[in-house]
Amino acid sequence: MLLREYEAGRLTVPITLRTRQQMYHDIQTRILQNPPFTNTTALLATHHCMHLLVSYIRYTMGSEIEIDDSWISSLLTVAPFGRIVEFFSAEIGDGGNQRMQRKDFMYSFHRDMTAHRKDHMNSVIFGRSSDQNIHTSVRELWFDAARTELASRQALPHEIEVAWCWNSIPILFGCADCQPGEGWRA
């Protein structure tokens, strides 16, 4: 869309980083206000899964490399489903050298991020701000927009989700806005 606007001469370039962040937030908000997220239960479940995913990434990679929110945000925004599958494949390993698989994943991810930053149209439209990560905080990726949407639906606070597993062992899914509910007894 931005490329079409630029080619038609209707786009003032370069677009500032702050404007990019606002555009991204507006897109997230529109996504959260459409199916399947119009169902508040689906929105809450996805919100809790995003918390679990980010926490897991921080936990697994924290001792290996310097992890900051911009790295996690990039992982989740540049071809996210493919990247997440690659991340977990490297994390689990295939019986080979797990450390080498992680290293290969990191090199591949870095190479793709560098190519993305060097894209000519990206630099024309976004100028020098294209060299900066659009998300300085993982909160900007999903959590701020989701929390605002949950608040508008009066779904804050909400209950912890409980999934009962093998031998009646509970798995709890939640976030900072959760409180214990009927399904969970401490």
> How do beta strands 178-179 and 158-159 pair?
parallel
pLDDT digits (tens, 9 = 90+) for 43-79: 999 999 889 888 888 887 665 555 667 777 777 776 6
What is the per-residue pLDDT for 130? 47
What is the per-residue pLDDT for 79? 65
Distances from the Cα of 7 to the Cα of 20, 126, 162, angstroms: 18, 14, 51
- Please, what is the Cα angle at 14 between 30 and 32, to 5 degrees? 10
pLDDT digits (tens, 9 = 90+) for 80-139: 677 888 888 887 776 667 778 878 887 887 787 777 666 666 666 666 544 455 556 778
Note the pTM of the prediction, 2 decimals. 0.75
Residue type, 37: F
Instruction: Classify residue 55 by burial, with Cβ atoms within 10 Å: 0-12, 13-18, 19+.
Output: exposed
